[in-house]
A and B are shown apart, each in its own frame.
Chain A
Amino acid sequence: MPELATAVRELSFGEAIKEAIAEEMRRDPTVVLMGEDVAEAGTTFKVLTGLVDEFGKDRIIDTPISEAGFTGIGVGAAMTGMRPIVDIMFGDFLMIIMDQVANQAAKIHYMSGGKWKVPLVIRATMGATRRSAAQHSQSLHAWPSHIPGLKVVVPSTPYDAKGLFKAAVREDNPVVIFEHKISYRKVKGPVPDEDYVIPLGVADVKRQGTDITLIALSSMVQVALGAAKMLEEVGISAEVVDPRTTWPLDEKTLVESVKKTSRCIVIDEGYFRYGVTGELASVIQEQAFFDLDGPVRRLGAMHVPIPFSPPLEDATVPTERQVFDLVRQMVNR
């Protein structure tokens, strides 16, 4: 993170995203945002409140409950001179739009031999523990990460969210950005009141350490940082690295960190099986095998549909305590 000016404001994660969208819409008149109840309602999470007052209903566009329909419009409009942002209220609804995302947006550039471009942003949410049950709580960023032609952004801090979102809007490729919905209000941090972009594909070391690397994404960055603090008290120095985008992936930064610490846990809120943790663990083991003191370990969401009841739901998501315990076991201290 660059040097911040002395009087940098604190914004919430949600406020940072709204500021990114507003700045990009001021900068580029071809940017519009469309989705369900995005205008006067400011989305169900109230993240966009007030944008319609500045940009009007022609640019902050309420749609019918028709995710595939308006995502398809986003794809076509992106091909023909616009930079639409499509708002998918819950990441779980990604399945509804997946043909438009994975078969259309992702492949059009390649299938056309590089002739058509699809500068489309799809913003979706992720994250459990909001007591919303199995169809409103999933973290599905592994799905678009699997598809060539897409870029996938999973910001963890307000600063990153603003810079990455602005980069996504300026991308000539389709980008899916997953906003952690618990973070909207809960996570606050310094955000410069100025124009800056964070390039997609550059990881960020959130905390320096020497004994173990915790690779964490989105909500799990806060969990990893919390665990690192607990570990510090018992004399273990944990480094926390946030890839910030699952694709493009900054393999170099991840591998360098693990080569330095010789141990690694990958922590993600997506389903544990066949997901982001497995992919990142493979990258580490392929490129840092001889520097490792032991196998790369993984923590992810349990392989169950997210349950409703609080004690059940809370059991599905990795916690600071779990990270702490696993690190101590691996470091043997």
Chain B
Amino acid sequence: MSTAATSKAATPIPTDTLLRLYRQMVAIRLFEERVNDLYTRALMPGLAHLYIGEEAIAVGVCEGLRRDDYITSTHRGHGHCLAKGASPDLMFAELLGKEAGYCKGKGGSMHIADPSTGNLGANAIVGGSAGIATGAAFASKYLKQDRVAVCFFGEGALGQGLLYEELNLAQLWKLPVIFACENNGYNEYTHFSESTAGDVILRAQAFGIATETIDGQNVRDVHAAASKYIERARKGDGPAFLQFKTYRYHGHHVGDIARAYYRPKAEEQEWVTQRDPITLHGQWMMDNGIADRAQLDAIQQALIEEMDAAMQFAIDAPYPDPSKVDQDIYA
């Protein structure tokens, strides 16, 4: 198996992993483009928060996880769920409120959960899953299971007190949990500099937690750093707080189209054209002889067919019968 060095980490990433990272990012991009399409065609009830632009984080982190490791996700969570192994057809079905969806249509876009892939659930309370992830790490340690939990959250959650309680408890009890902060620069419609005092990373360092800031647009860097801290946590050496610098190409949600009042178009264009994680990784693989354009195009073409079929499955799937509304309240 041929290997290639990452841009800065010493450990080479195997070729099949490099290709899988690419494939997974493209899959999320295509999934999210179809979500936007479903919204604009009025086929999707409610709203969705697109992960486009941030794909390298979910993909790079989850590539370092085992299937039985845990994640908690956010309102912007489709990428995390897919990267952890969710099936696009059942994801689309849930987004459309169909019986076949991951949560039988009861959760929707912001609450995809899937025990079979260790997905403890996306959470619509900003920062609300910090306790759940830390609790899963607590159980893993108590039950001697060597599972790791990753808590994905946006930089908007830095304003929530619960996060700091969990950082304290996780470090105090040396729990195998990774706090993965996806800093896309915007808390909804507000630049994070207007909401965030001091230095983000110093906040975590104050608890004595291992920290690192990583370029969230470089999937190899994400993967290398995340894997290092995941294995460290798995060995029992405690939690980590990773800040990934990234960008949300779309609005806060699919309906947030007129954005000029809170962020300049030129800024968006710069990230889209200069810092796209898929373009950058594809180019890097071509530059390093890992793959050629035809190979990358073939990956994309196969995924387009898969995603179109998955979306169509969801469109054709039936809604739940209204009589099921009061099922699943209690176990």
Contact = CB atoms under 8 A, between A and B. Distances in A.
Interface stretch (A67-75, A224-232, A251-259, A297-305): A67-75
Contact of B130 (A72, A80, A84): A72
Interface stretch (B136-144, B220-228, B251-259): B136-144
A249 to B, nearest CB: 13
B324 to A, nearest CB: 10
Nearest to A96: B161
Q: Which bucket holds chain B's interface residue count?
A: 35 or more
Contacts of A80: 70, 120, 135-136, 139-140
B328 A109 contact: yes
Contacts of B328: 109-110, 113-114
Nearest to B102: A113
Contacts of A119: 331
Interface string A97-123: 001100110001111111111010000
A80 B142 CA distance: 11
B286 interface: no
Given A69-B134, A108-B113, A113-B104, 10 more contacts: A68-B162, A69-B165, A71-B131, A73-B134, A104-B123, A111-B113, A113-B107, A113-B328, A114-B331, A149-B329
A82 B169 CA distance: 18
A100 B166 CA distance: 13
22 contacts: A69-B165, A72-B162, A73-B131, A75-B132, A76-B138, A79-B132, A100-B162, A103-B125, A110-B106, A110-B329, A111-B113, A112-B107, A113-B105, A113-B107, A113-B328, A114-B104, A114-B327, A114-B331, A116-B115, A149-B329, A172-B331, A173-B330
Given A69-B162, A78-B135, A113-B328, A30 B143 contact: yes
A81 interface: yes
A72 B106 contact: no
A66 B329 contact: no
Contacts of A115: 102-103, 113-115
A299 to B, nearest CB: 31
Given A64-B169, A66-B168, A79-B136, A113 B106 contact: yes
A25 interface: no
Interface of B: 70, 101-107, 111, 113-115, 120-121, 123, 125, 128-140, 142-143, 145, 149, 161-162, 165-166, 168-169, 172, 327-331
B131 A66 contact: no
A63 interface: yes
A68 B169 contact: no
B120 A79 contact: yes
Top 4 A-B pairs, shortest CB-CB distance: A72-B131, A76-B135, A69-B165, A113-B104
Nearest to B140: A80
B330 A58 contact: no
Given A111-B113, A173-B331, A73 B169 contact: yes
Interface in A16-75: 30, 32, 58, 63-64, 66, 68-75
A113 B101 contact: yes
A78 B142 CA distance: 12
Interface residues of A, number: 42
A103 B138 contact: no
Nearest to B320: A113
Nearest to B324: A113
Given A75-B131, A81-B143, A99 B162 contact: yes
B134 to A, nearest CB: 5
A295 interface: no
A310 interface: no
Nearest to B165: A69
A148 interface: yes
Contacts of A69: 131, 134, 162, 165-166, 168-169
B165 A66 contact: yes
A77 interface: yes
B130 A111 contact: no
A103 B123 CA distance: 9
Contact of A72 (B105, B113, B135, B330): B135
Contacts of B134: 69, 72-73, 76
Contact of A73 (B115, B125, B135, B143): B135
Contacts of A151: 330
A72 B132 contact: yes
Contacts of B107: 111-113
Contacts of B104: 113-114
Q: Which of B106, B125, B133 has the most chain A CB atoms inside 10 A of its CB? A: B106
A138 B161 CA distance: 24
A111 B131 contact: no
B127 to A, nearest CB: 9
Contacts of A116: 113, 115, 120-121
Contacts of B130: 72
Given A111-B103, A113-B103, A114-B327, A58 B142 contact: yes
A32 B329 contact: no
A109 B331 contact: yes
B247 to A, nearest CB: 29
A82 B142 contact: yes
A115 B119 CA distance: 11
A72 B70 CA distance: 15
Contact of B168 (A64, A103, A149): A64
Contact of B125 (A66, A77, A99, A117): A99
B125 to A, nearest CB: 5
Given A73-B169, A116-B113, A108 B161 contact: no
Interface in A277-303: none
Contacts of B149: 76
A84 B139 CA distance: 10
Contacts of A111: 103, 106-107, 111, 113, 121
Contacts of B113: 108, 111-113, 115-116
Contacts of B133: 76
A73 B104 CA distance: 27
